[in-house]
Structure 1
């Protein structure tokens, strides 16, 4: 039984390392894509950003954090940045728009 527990811990650690690597790869690919400055890359950008979000949720789960807790923390961060007058909010209202989106989904 002890050996199975050790194997599960090792498997989880390897999965965490793999997810971290995948996140970094996706971020690097996003930087490369943006550096090219090509037109009509919206689909590729959406794919990379959604992949980073997916991998981040999975990484949190592997580290013992529930999806609901991650989502709740995200909402708290958005609220705090609205209250603190983040520049993105002042300039574009993006945080209020994001908060509305998070409330309705």
Structure 2
């Protein structure tokens, strides 16, 4: 790759990462709106978009999907083992871990 092409590639990558960061904020704002309005459709759509943006952002900054998945699974195990409040109160983390492991 020639120097000008490389510079364009780097600039484009930076621009995409910045766009993904704004997309994260936009979807968080949509999620808050959905929660405020008790709009299940907007809540679900925003959460799905957040998951997608997180995966794409991870890839853009050099974290492979598999590594991200492995880190999520590790975090779930750690938090479950350490008695995280969401686990203690609702069992959310072990349920999520079970769901992910069955996929």
TM-score of the alignment, normalized to the shorter chain, above 0.5 = yes
Structure 2 gaps, min length 5: none
Name the counterpart of 2:3. 2
Runs of 4+ in 1 over 4 A off after TM superposition: none
Do residues 14 (structure 1) and 18 (structure 2) align?
no
CA deviation string 1:19-62 (max 9, x = no partner): 000010000111122123x3xx2222111001001001100100
Structure 1 gaps, min length 5: none
Q: What is the TM-score with the length of structure 2 in the denominator?
A: 0.95
Do residues 65 (structure 1) and 63 (structure 2) align?
yes
Name the counterpart of 1:91. 89
Name the counterpart of 2:47. 49
Do residues 24 (structure 1) and 22 (structure 2) align?
no
- Give the Cα separation in 2 of the matches to 1:16 and 1:32: 24
Superposed CA RMSD in Å reads 0.9
CA shift for structure 1 position 8: 0.5
SS at match of 1:85: coil
Q: What is the TM-score with the length of structure 1 in the denominator?
A: 0.93
